[in-house]
Chains A and B, each alone.
Chain A
Amino acid sequence: MKKMLMIAPLALFAGLAFADNHGEDKLQKMIQSSFKATGQATMDRMKQDEVQKACSDTDSLDDATRKKLEESQMATIKWPSDGDFYKGGDWKQGHKIAWSGRGLTWRDKPDSEVGGGCYNCHGLDPAEMSYGTIGPNLQGYAKIRGRSEEIVKYTWGKIYNAKAYHACSDMPRNGYGGILSEEQIRHVMAYLFDPESPVNK
């Protein structure tokens, strides 16, 4: 009963939204007929939230909308529950999380550990040669940027929900998206900020 009530207005909304946009309607139809659920990768992954939708067509994204999206994404950030941003984190665990790009694909078991995949896009430990370049190079992160409250807080927020800072950032929303737990984020933070971490050597 509840479900029916929710579906009706949604369908109406979709009808209105797509009425003036034939192309988008066609794309949605094509997506529905072209993908299938496999393992944990179900069809709901093809639906877009407001950020994903807006950032799929950045040409028609104006600054005001962009700012609004960033504000609403900023509001999703959960700061560390005990106020500890990185000191209780373990940089060695952080390295493992940064190194692993596993998890969340249709081949992964739903309960298997999910990595941060940081090295796919960022340089971190200067001694590590296998890193991607889609994101900025973060070698020597805290050695260069210091450990002020501002930079520490910004880094947590950026890892938790990168879209709060740039609406259409390429970076996944690790915390908000449920990719990494608060504990895992703290380990990654330690990897970036701990003076003993190879990132800062």
Chain B
Amino acid sequence: MKKSMMTTAVAVAIAGGSSGAFADNTAAALEQYRQMIQDSNPAELVEMEGEELWVTPRGPKNATMEKCDLGLGPGVVEGAYAQMPRYFQDTGRVQDLESRLMTCMENLQGIPSEEVINGKFRQGERGKVAALVAYVVGQSRGDTINVDLSHPKMKEMYDLGKQMFFYRSGPMDFSCSTCHAVDDKRIRMQDLPNLTTPEGAAAGWGSWPAYRVSNSQFWTMQHRLNDCFRQQRTAEPIYGSDVTIALSVYMAGTANGGEMNAPAAKR
């Protein structure tokens, strides 16, 4: 059922291209297609997997994640993601959701963070983190993005994230800003959010993590950022490293006031 809906939408998109008013029709058809995949969002399956994982005893300590503190107190998941990244007093660090989940897995379950950091996306413990991410993020759906930037370490990470966003390097001179600092641009047919404006940042940050229909994969923000840097032709960002967290603080901080609509479904 889901599949046939998508096929129809693609056919509509292609048919739209053959007419004279090609650009308008194609944009409209693509928008229709995006709506359709939102209505049958496969990310919900990953959310359910994560929800189950949250209450499953695992690791050397055979414990669940139910006492994990995501910033609103141990075990409070609802609304937690809309306020992340945030500064955590117990670790003395600004953490995004994925680095925070690693802290909980290590402390509560005894699963070493290295297993996630040195792992591969969608596999092993890193794959488990992704499922937990889907669950936690889903519990902030519809909430207002509300990241507190008042702590000096949050301010610092926001500034560093902004500098990194504009940092050009590598054989193609790219930075995040090459693609994400102007309104209404595309790479090929892919619309690019302008992450330097509140509206654009809300559209971008508010719709990730996401299930990508094009490759049938659920991608976390760490995964998304990793692939952005791959396409920028830089060296590889380490999973959960400060650069990735700083960029997340910059994006989420800019998106403040927008709505969380993740995990979303994407083309």
Contact = CB atoms under 8 A, between A and B. Distances in A.
Interface of A: 23-24, 26-27, 30-31, 33-38, 41-43, 45-48, 51-53, 55-57, 104-107, 119-121, 129-134, 163, 170, 172-173, 177-179
Given A104-B233, A105-B231, A178-B171, A34 B241 contact: yes
A132 B182 CA distance: 13
Interface of B: 17, 22, 26, 156, 159-160, 163-164, 166-175, 178-179, 182, 184-190, 192, 230-231, 233-238, 241-244, 246
A57 B166 contact: yes
Nearest to B166: A56
B233 A105 contact: yes
B167 A45 contact: no
Given A129-B189, A170-B178, 5 more contacts: A34-B242, A45-B169, A120-B187, A129-B17, A132-B186
A13 B246 CA distance: 27
Contacts of A35: 234-238, 241, 243
Nearest to A171: B173
Contacts of A51: 173
Q: Which 3 A-B pairs have the closest CB atoms?
A: A34-B243, A34-B241, A172-B172
15 contacts: A23-B160, A30-B164, A33-B238, A41-B230, A48-B168, A53-B168, A55-B168, A55-B173, A56-B175, A106-B235, A107-B230, A129-B26, A133-B186, A170-B178, A172-B171
A53 B163 CA distance: 11
Select the residue from B179, B234, B235, B238 with max chain A CB neighbours within 10 A: B235
Contacts of B17: 129
Select the residue from A52, A57, A129, A134 with max chain B CB neighbours within 10 A: A129
A132 B187 contact: yes
Contacts of B244: 34
Nearest to A114: B171
Contacts of A134: 178-179, 182, 185-187, 192
Given A120-B188, A129-B17, A52 B169 contact: yes
B185 A45 contact: no
